[in-house]
Chains A and B, each alone.
Chain A
Amino acid sequence: MISVNINGETRQLSGSLTVAALIDEMGLTGKRVALERNGEIVPRSTFPTQRLSDGDKLEIVVAVGGG
């Protein structure tokens, strides 16, 4: 198990999880999202190949109403 911080919350995940698998687990597959990992943008095209590491800090964002 690895410990990953997602949007400010610490989660325990299985060690070899890809970003795509995480997105799927969160019910976000097919939704328009963007992801930052440890301060760097993770392009959507690389979601299936990028594997998460212990201590990763993720920001997963969407577009919402705003001025």
Chain B
Amino acid sequence: MNDKLVIAGKSYSSRLLVGTGKYKDFTETRAALDASGAEIVTVAIRRTNLGQNANEPNLLDSVPMSKFTYLPNTAGCYTADDAVRTLRLARELLDGHSLVKLEVLGDPQSLYPNVIETIAAAKILVAEGFQVMVYTSDDPIVAKQLEDIGCVAIMPLASLIGSGMGILNPWNLQLVMERVKVPVIVDAGVGTASDAAIAMELGCHGVLMNTAIAGAKDPVLMASAMKKGVEAGREAFLAGRMPKKLYSASPSSPTAGIISSTRS
């Protein structure tokens, strides 16, 4: 099936995007990413250890840029300024790579996005030539504003980052999808495979997750489940589901030719 995910003019076969955080070690990270089939992976940008041993293992060795499309994020940023600085550093770090994930958080307890700072950062980043995939709330008005600014993908949360609560408001997600034309990728709060399938059945173009896989008892197996969940949900969406009807129960077997009943 030629059903590629197209972001900023580039095609991807996998609609599952995966984070590289919270795994036991880099071996597990790579095994989970491989099992998930993800092509786009998020990474964080952090200070290097000043006393660093030159032979310390690093992410780039286990998750090479030659095999994966890196999506640097702005995790831990609470202001537009910090997010912009972080992504400028990321672009320099990754040889001019301009596809980025923008997230500006509002408070450390809920990790809920600060959409006002997000909008401010998006304006600056788009003007500087970044291709911005923007993490946001499920507010459809904000989503449209972010698209109008020039973001290449809108990434509304299903529920709080790391909460595993699944999709709490499918109605808002639907409103978002009705209003924007760029890809809508559910990001944050996915907990298990059915959550990912539901997102895709709603018509979302992809799903981004990290804790759902890294936080599972068997991350590699969950990664495989998520791959199938996203694919199943996408096929179900494209197949066009039967309608839900409360009062029109309709049997699947013929009503003619039933043997006479002994019931009086």
Q: Which A positions have Cβ atoms within 8 angstroms of B?
A: 6-9, 26-28, 31-36, 39, 41, 43-44, 59-67
Task: Choose one: A39, A44, A60, A67; the contact of B47 (CB below 8 Å).
Answer: A60
B179 to chain A, nearest CB (A): 26
Task: Choose one: B54, B75, B92; the contact of A66 (CB below 8 Å).
Answer: B75
* Interface pair B93/A33, CB less than 8 Å apart: yes
B21 sits at the interface (CB 8 A): yes
B106 to chain A, nearest CB (A): 17
Nearest opposing residue in chain A for B89, CB measure: A34
Q: With A27-B54, A33-B48, A59-B47 known to touch, is A67 a contact of B211 (CB < 8 Å)?
A: yes
B88 sits at the interface (CB 8 A): yes
Q: Which B positions have Cβ atoms within 8 angstroms of A?
A: 19-23, 26, 29, 42-48, 50, 52-54, 58-60, 70, 72-73, 75, 85, 88-90, 92-94, 161-162, 209-211
CA distance A9 to B50 in the complex (A): 9
* Interface pair A26/B85, CB less than 8 Å apart: no
The 9 closest A-B pairs by CB, nearest first: A66-B44, A67-B210, A67-B19, A34-B93, A65-B20, A7-B47, A34-B92, A66-B21, A65-B21
Query: B residues within 8 A CB of A43?
Result: 92
CA distance A65 to B58 in the complex (A): 9
Of the listed residues A8, A9, A64, A67, the one surrounded by the most CB atoms of chain B closer than 10 A to its CB is A67
* Interface pair A63/B60, CB less than 8 Å apart: yes
* Interface pair A66/B50, CB less than 8 Å apart: no
CA distance A43 to B73 in the complex (A): 20
Task: Choose one: A8, A9, A64; the contact of B43 (CB below 8 Å).
Answer: A64
CA distance A35 to B44 in the complex (A): 15
Nearest opposing residue in chain B for A36, CB measure: B89
